[in-house]
Amino acid sequence: MGSQSEQRGGSARGPGLGLVVEGITKSFGSGRDRALAIADLSVEVPRGRFATVIGPSGCGKSTLLKVVAGLAEADAGTISLFGDAPEQARANKRLGYVPQRPALLPWRTVLENVRFPFQVNRRAGTLATRRPEEVLTSVGLGEVLGRRPHELSGGMQQRVAIARAFAFEPSLLVMDEPFSALDELTRESLRHQLLALWEADQKTVLFVTHSVTEAVVLSDLVIVMSGPPGRVHSVVPVELPRPRGATLEGSEEVQELERVVRRELSAAVAAGEQAQ
Amino acid sequence: MSDSPPGAGAAVEPMALRAWRASRAGSWLPTLVALAVVAGVWQLVALHNPSVLPTVPQVFREIADHPGLFARDTGATLRETAVGALVAGDGAFLLAVAMSELPLVERAIMPLAVALNVTPVVAIAPALTLILGFGAAPRYVVTGIVVFFPFLINCLVGLRSVDPEVLEVARSLNASRAEVLWRLRIPSSLPLLFAAARICLPLAVVGAVVAEFSTSGSSSGLGSQIVIAEQYAELPTIFASILLLAAIGIALTLATFALERWLLGWHRAARGLGVR
Ligand SMILES: Nc1ncnc2c1ncn2[C@@H]1O[C@H](COP(=O)(O)OP(=O)(O)OP(=O)(O)O)[C@@H](O)[C@H]1O
Ligand SMILES: [Mg+2]
């Protein structure tokens, strides 16, 4: 990866600004129905790190992701993606968004779906170094390039959605519970495919999950949220060696970290109940 | 499908029967039997009431005796239906695009479109004949009016039927409105567009006939034939015309089906999966 990618927001792990969220407040509705979804939330994810967001249902995780991705506007606060505002990052196509459901285009084949990001907002261009076919092959979909989404299992569809976000090599990947609709076994295998994909070029990632194991196994830092209104309760660093294989799961270190995250999570839930 | 274990049915069901079920001829047989029953009952009634109903052979003989005349009238009605529906359908589609992109256009036009829709065409047709003369013009206009509104509404719903999460992905890529329209909204609208065509084309035949009723004196068309034949109580002519009108409706519906099957294989298949 050359210096160009460094200038344009960079994909390599290293010094420099990552994702900086400062004092974000976001409410829905107006007048008496106005409800605070996020209150004065600040958090930082260094460039090239994998961060997961975990917290009780309704605490504002999806809202945070949408604000970061520039899909919703915050009432107050600032967000910087490698020095750019979310709108700028969007305009430059530096943002990959993976929603909870695969959200594929049913009339397009697997390959055409992954090509979609290349076909819109062409002015921004991409920094892609690999062809969509290669990315799809690396997540085990090389044999089904010509199939349409309805011919795939839920797990395969979700892999297409992830490949779609990775293939154009954005600087920041934002994923909202991409595995939540899958069974445990599929989930585990996708987790490792995602890790392999990510470890290949280490983008900055913000990943929402409800699974403590997933949070520990995937990330460099676990952001535990409380709410509503959403706040950062604590940030748990995960300093497990990489690359992380399937053998890591169930190991002593992982279990210890899971205990820590679980404890923080209960504390966050208790804090949320007290606030109400 | 029964839920008996595979193989259990094979012993009970004779081979020939299974082969027949699998063949395409099998799927047509119920339709043919039903048709034969209707024709039989018709024939019975007609034989006992010669002054009310012509017999089945009489109707077909009528067509065979005047092939040129019926060909001319069928052609005229088909042309009115097809041209009126096509022009109105295209116009409705373009207007729906404008409405979905510009709320102002929707607010301006929608009340007018609703008013036009609730006014019975049968009531408009004579007035249009006086305004536009006894030629083909009022026929195209009436046919168009009949088709316009249902098509407009279906197009509008179709253009808005894009999965909201797909729209979010597009927005995260900063896709332009034109790109969203061309790559997401229009493809998403096609299934509803075809559903609308299946409803509208038979309606268009009704529109053409209604218009012919009020311009019967001077022009060709199966509707005109019916009105003229009525004055002389020529029952076979009336029923031959009705038969040919039904044939026009069936031909248009089948053509729509064929086009839909060709263009929207993805949608039919996806729907089939959803039902299972
Ligand atoms: N469009 C909206 N309009 C009104 N309120 C909303 C809207 N979206 C979210 N909220 C509210 O904001 C709060 C946070 O919602 P959000 O979807 O971000 O939670 P979450 O942490 O993602 O929950 P989950 O884990 O269940 O997905 C909730 O209380 C929710 O009711
Ligand atoms: Mg959520």
Residue B169 forms part of a structural domain: yes
The ipTM assigned to this model is 0.88
User: pLDDT tens digits for B48-60?
Assistant: 988 888 888 889 9
- Cα of A28 to ligand 1 centre, how many Å? 9
Chain B interface includes A123 (CB < 8 A): no
Q: Are strands A204-208 and A172-176 parallel, antiparallel or unpaired?
A: parallel
Residue B195 forms part of a structural domain: yes
Query: What is the count of residue pairs from A and B with beta carbons less than 8 Å apart?
Result: 70
Query: Is pLDDT of B2 > 60?
Result: no
Tell me the average pLDDT across A85-111.
93
Residue B276 forms part of a structural domain: no
Residues, beta carbon < 5 Å, ion ligand 2? A 62
**Which pLDDT value is given to residue B20?**
59
Query: Who among B165, B172, B273 is closest to A150 (CB)?
Result: B273
Torsions phi, psi of A81, nearest 5?
-105, 100
Same domain, yes or no: B88 and B40: no
Same domain, yes or no: B261 and B200: yes
Same domain, yes or no: B4 and B97: no
Same domain, yes or no: B115 and B250: yes
A174 to chain B: which residues are within 8 Å by CB? 172
A97 to chain B: which residues are within 8 Å by CB? 168-169, 172
Contact between B172 and A90 using a beta-carbon 8 Å cutoff: yes
Same domain, yes or no: B75 and B156: yes
Residues of the domain holding B17: 1-53
Question: Any idea what the CATH number is for the domain that residue B78 is in?
Answer: 1.10.3720.10
SS (H, E, C) chain A: CCHHHHHCCCCCCCCCCCEEEEEEEEEECCHHHCEEEEEEEEEEECCCCEEEEECCCCCCHHHHHHHHCCCCCCCEEEEEECCECHHHHHHCCCEEEECCCCCCCCCCCHHHHHHHHHHCCHHHCCCCCCCHHHHHHHCCCCCCCCCCHHHCCHHHHHHHHHHHHHHCCCCEEEEECCCCCCCHHHHHHHHHHHHHHHHHHCCEEEEECCCHHHHHHHCCEEEEEECCCEEEEEEEECCCCCCCCHHHCCCHHHHHHHHHHHHHHHHHHHHHHHHC
User: pLDDT tens digits for B260-270?
Assistant: 888 887 776 66
- Residue A29 CA, closest ligand 1 atom number: 4
Query: Who among B163, B176, B187 is closest to A121 (CB)?
Result: B176
Same domain, yes or no: B74 and B150: yes
pTM of the entire structure? 0.82
**Which pLDDT value is given to residue A63?**
94
Q: How far apart are CA B143 and CA B201, in angstroms?
A: 9
Q: How far is A163 from chain B (nearest CA, A)?
A: 13
Query: Who among B166, B179, B264 is closest to A103 (CB)?
Result: B166
Same domain, yes or no: B125 and B70: yes
Place of tokens 């927001």: A9
Is residue B232 classed as helix, strand or coil in its secondary structure? Answer: coil
**Which pLDDT value is given to residue B267?**
74
Q: Is A63 in the pocket of ligand 1 (CB under 6 A)?
A: yes
- Cα of A210 to ligand 2 centre, how many Å? 10
Residue B191 forms part of a structural domain: yes
Query: Is pLDDT of A108 > 90?
Result: yes
- Residue A177 CA, closest ligand 1 atom number: 27
A107 to chain B: which residues are within 8 Å by CB? 187, 190, 264, 266-267
Pick from A56-65, A267-276, B21-30: least confident: B21-30
Q: Which of B36, B53, B70 is the last residue of a domain?
A: B53
Total domain count, chain B: 2
Which is more confidently placed, A3 or B188? B188
Peptide bond into A241 cis (omega under 30): no
- Cα of A62 to ligand 2 centre, how many Å? 4
**Which pLDDT value is given to residue A3?**
41
Same domain, yes or no: B47 and B59: no
Q: Is A59 in the pocket of ligand 1 (CB under 6 A)?
A: yes
Q: Which of B53, B77, B95 is the last residue of a domain?
A: B53
Same domain, yes or no: B32 and B110: no
Name which of A266, A268, A229, A269 is nearest A60 in CA terms: A229
- Cα of A59 to ligand 1 centre, how many Å? 7
Best mutation target, B174, B188, B189, B267, to test chain A (most A CBs within 10 A): B174
Same domain, yes or no: B21 and B130: no
Q: Output the residue whose Cα is nearest ligand 1's atom 24.
A: A57
Is residue B103 classed as helix, strand or coil in its secondary structure? Answer: helix
Report the C-alpha dihedral over residues A143, A146, A148, A151, rounded to 10 degrees.
Answer: -40
Contact between B266 and A69 using a beta-carbon 8 Å cutoff: no
Residue B267 forms part of a structural domain: yes
Q: How far apart are CA A208 and CA A238, in angstroms?
A: 16
Same domain, yes or no: B21 and B97: no
Best mutation target, A150, A158, A174, A206, to test chain B (most B CBs within 10 A): A150
Same domain, yes or no: B35 and B142: no
User: pLDDT tens digits for B172-225?
Assistant: 999 999 999 999 999 999 999 998 998 889 989 998 998 888 876 667 889 988
